[in-house]
Structure 1
Amino acid sequence: MHAWEQIQQTIDYIEDHLSEDINIETLARTACLSPFYYQHLFSRLVRKPVAEYIKLRRMAKTADSLLQSDKKILDIALDLGFSSHEHFSRTFKNTFGLTPDEYRKNPQTLNRMTKPELLLHYTLVDEGVPLITDGIVLEVNRRVITQPIRYIGLKKDIPLHYIDGLGTESGIDPLAALWQDFHRQKSTMLRLSEYDSEIGVAYSSSKEGCFSYFAGTQSEPGDTPDSFICWELPAGEYIICSFEAESFEALVMDALYKAQHYVYNTWLPKHKLQTDAFCAERYASHSPDTTNMEIWLRNLT
């Protein structure tokens, strides 16, 4: 068994026992490692110490429970091993920047610690061959477009640490407000349906310490309304990672991070390919019915 498989066993164990007291000795035995080496290897592969990872996964679960059930906040806290309402509220606010009561009254999109699938770091598939893992199906192909595709939308500069921490950090999602603003103006100013295809693009920013993010929809050539900007998907050959998840929330909060990590850190390096300095996320739409999307990376090799 590979070392990553041993750590994955403990990740799966943690997920099944979040409501219980989980100790390092049990996890180390599950991985057939000493407690010292287990903690070292876990931190190296997951990029979080074991205790912090468990806390953040519990926080992710409680965030779901606060909106998906009408249980009292104390009961939700006790279900996931917190000793008191005060302890839970303090931990929740330190993690996400608002209290459980504030979140329940005014729900916001939250970044959360996702459950890692370590085989995505080490498993290589050929083009056109689906890879299935934990409810996610992804596939890598190539496609050539001969003409640029024009989009119209809104742009926002985001601190770089949100890219570095995607999937491992927790807090209010900084892109949610941009998408909400775009969708509001898309229906009123552009008079387009929520079901029109959309794109989200991360690229370099002129603002130090930031990247730019564009949220838009495909558009024919013409005038650009005030407050909107245009962005073009250049012609060329693209590496396209398409993927599916069980729901739109799982698609954008979990599968997107895992697909990006797989294509950037596993697939491209092992194929010795270089891509342009932007990452385009193409959606059929942001409708709750949407369960698939694509990452487009322009091949420069």
Structure 2
Amino acid sequence: MVEWNEMVQLMIDWIDADLTAAPTLLRMSEQLGYSPYYCTKQFHALTGTTLRDYIWMRRISRAALELRDTDTRILDIAVKFGFSSQEAFSRAFSKAFNTTPSAHRKAPCPIPLTIRAEVFTPYHYLIKERDKMREVHLQEAEIKLEVIPAHKFIGIWDLASHNYAGFWENGHDCDEISGTLESMSHHTLAGQLGQTAGWFYKNGQKGYLYGIPVSSDYNGKIPEGMECRDIPESEYLVFFHPPFDYLKDNGQVMRTVEQVAWNYDPKVMGYAWDEETKQDYQRHFPEGYGYAVLRPVRKLTGNEE
């Protein structure tokens, strides 16, 4: 029932709007017009976790970011996120992340944060709107050049996957990987958006990658199951669509951009593709950045033109 995907997403939105004072189950059920029991049952069915556990893990994950990014006292963070004492917070933190709050503050390391759940997607929106006629006005993909400095990329390279959906269906745990990378967001390469997907090439075969770009001098811990690779500086052709409505236009925007990106001839700009030792990137942040495919290029020499 697609309506429940939308209603559970509303519950998630209400909770995440203020994790320090999340609305009660009773209040949310009254707003949705269903019994508390039925709301919790549907929440568990769609998210795979209980409402109580979701709120608990989102709070402790947000607290972990405050430990990392602020100088606020551990006791004050504990109270802010609903723990009765610093000791209770420390027990919960250790249970969730196998380290203590004080140890994590002194030496932040990758930990599997619980990220915001998404149960109402463009697919569900299209089902909901299938009987409605809607004229879509989207612009053509823009093309521009961008230089990305030398950096390291921490993540997973999977030759057996070729796109975002296929990657997660190929045995990779989306919640664990995304949560762990979120805990490393303070290391993100300057000017980049954080968690990044894309494509790579090995012996003529194209695979899919997912991870986070970090500075070239990064020497911190590499999460278990991930690699760290050096990516040289390069110019990239960026095929780009500005911010859009994710639920309504995501599929069409991605098709529009990728149609241009995979069929473009860089010779018209005096370039050739340079993907053998580098990798392509996706930037997908619909309401803030938009969508882009980035392909590395090199300038043509006189003999090649």
Alignment-derived partner of residue 202 in structure 1? 198
Task: Give the letter aligned to residue 50 of structure 1.
Answer: L
Cα contact 1:112–1:171 (8 A) shared by 2: yes
Cα contact 2:147–2:235 (8 A) shared by 1: yes
Change (3 A) 1:12 1:197: closer
Cα contact 1:279–1:297 (8 A) shared by 2: yes
| Whole-Å separation in 1 of the counterparts to 2:210 and 2:241 | 21
Counterpart among 133, 136, 158 of residue 126 in structure 1: 136
Instruction: Spell out, residue by residue over 1:92-147, the C-alpha distance to the aligned partner (whole angstroms, 9 max, x if none).
Output: 2343453211232234676644445766645579344xxxxxxxxxxxx43264x9
Larger Rg: 2
1:170 is aligned to 2:179: yes
Instruction: Please give the TM-score of this superposition, normalised by the length of structure 2.
Output: 0.51
Task: Give the letter aligned to residue 54 of structure 1.
Answer: I
Instruction: Spell out, residue by residue over 1:43-84, the C-alpha distance to the aligned partner (whole angstroms, 9 max, x if none).
Output: 454454322221122113323443566543233223322234
Task: Give the letter aligned to residue 180 of structure 2.
Answer: G
1:50-61 matches, cutoff 5 A:
50-61=51-62
| Whole-Å separation in 2 of the counterparts to 1:40 and 1:96 | 27
Instruction: Spell out, residue by residue over 1:166-209, the C-alpha distance to the aligned partner (whole angstroms, 9 max, x if none).
Output: 599533548659x66xx5xxxxxxxxxx6799995532576xx9
Alignment-derived partner of residue 227 in structure 2? none
Change (3 A) 1:87 1:228: same
| Whole-Å separation in 1 of the counterparts to 2:73 and 2:35 | 40
Alignment-derived partner of residue 96 in structure 2? 95
Cα contact 1:203–1:213 (8 A) shared by 2: no
Change (3 A) 1:8 1:280: closer
Alignment-derived partner of residue 222 in structure 2? none
Change (3 A) 1:26 1:166: same
Change (3 A) 1:79 1:278: same
Change (3 A) 1:89 1:14: same
| Whole-Å separation in 2 of the counterparts to 1:23 and 1:14 | 9
Change (3 A) 1:40 1:231: farther
Alignment-derived partner of residue 211 in structure 1? 209
SS at match of 1:82: coil
Cα deviation, residue 297, structure 1:
4.0
Cα contact 1:95–1:170 (8 A) shared by 2: no
Change (3 A) 1:156 1:78: closer
Cα contact 2:145–2:236 (8 A) shared by 1: yes
Change (3 A) 1:196 1:47: closer
Task: Give the letter aligned to residue 81 of structure 1.
Answer: G
Cα contact 2:198–2:208 (8 A) shared by 1: no
Alignment-derived partner of residue 292 in structure 2? 296
Change (3 A) 1:45 1:168: farther
Change (3 A) 1:32 1:165: same
> Alignment identity in percent?
20
Alignment-derived partner of residue 220 in structure 1? none
Cα deviation, residue 150, structure 1:
7.3
Change (3 A) 1:280 1:3: same
Task: Provide structure 2 residue ranges, at least 5 long, that are not aligned to the other structure.
Answer: 127-134, 158-166, 216-229, 263-278, 295-305
Instruction: Please give the TM-score of this superposition, normalised by the length of structure 1.
Output: 0.51
Change (3 A) 1:210 1:79: same
Task: Give the letter aligned to residue 209 of structure 2.
Answer: F
Alignment-derived partner of residue 282 in structure 2? 280
Alignment-derived partner of residue 28 in structure 1? 29
SS at match of 1:202: strand
1:241-260 matches, cutoff 5 A:
242=243
1:135-146 matches, cutoff 5 A:
141-143=139-141, 145=143
SS at match of 1:171: helix
| Whole-Å separation in 2 of the counterparts to 1:266 and 1:19 | 33
